[in-house]
Amino acid sequence: MSATPPVPRPMTVPDFREAKVRGDKLAVVTAYDYTSARLAEEAGVDCLLVGDSLGMVIQGHPTALPVTLGQIAYHTKCVVRGAQRALVVADMPFLSYQVSPAQAVRNAGRLVKKAGAHAVKLEGGQRMAEAVRAVVNAGIPVMGHIGLTPQSVHLLGGFKVQRDTEQLLADARAVEQAGAFSLVVESVPAEVGARITQAVAIPTIGIGAGPSCDGQVLVFHDLLGLFTDFKPKFVKRYADLGSQVRSALLEYCREVREGKFPGPEQSFR
Ligand code: KIV
**How high does pLDDT run on average in the chain?**
96
Residue type for position 3: A
Q: What is the mean pLDDT of residues 90-97?
A: 98
- Cα 126 to middle of ligand 1, angstroms: 19
pTM passes above 0.75: yes
> At a CB cut-off of 8 Å and minimum separation 6, what does 94 contact?
52, 64, 65, 67, 151
Q: Does the C-beta of 219 come closer than 6 Å to ligand 1?
A: yes
Least confident of 7-21, 225-239, 248-262: 7-21
pLDDT at residue 81 greater than cutoff 80: yes
Local confidence band at 2 (pLDDT 50, 70, 90 cut-offs): very low
Q: How confident is the model at residue 8 (pLDDT cuts 50, 70, 90)?
A: confident
At 6 the pLDDT is: 46
Closest alpha carbon to 118 in 10, 246, 262, 5: 10
Cβ of 53 closer than 6 Å to ligand 1, yes or no, is yes
Instruction: Inform me whether the pLDDT recorded for 48 exceeds 80.
Output: yes
Asked if residue 207 has its Cβ within 6 Å of ligand 1, the reply is: yes
Closest C-alpha residue for ligand 1 atom 8: 51
Say yes or no to pLDDT of 248 above 50: yes
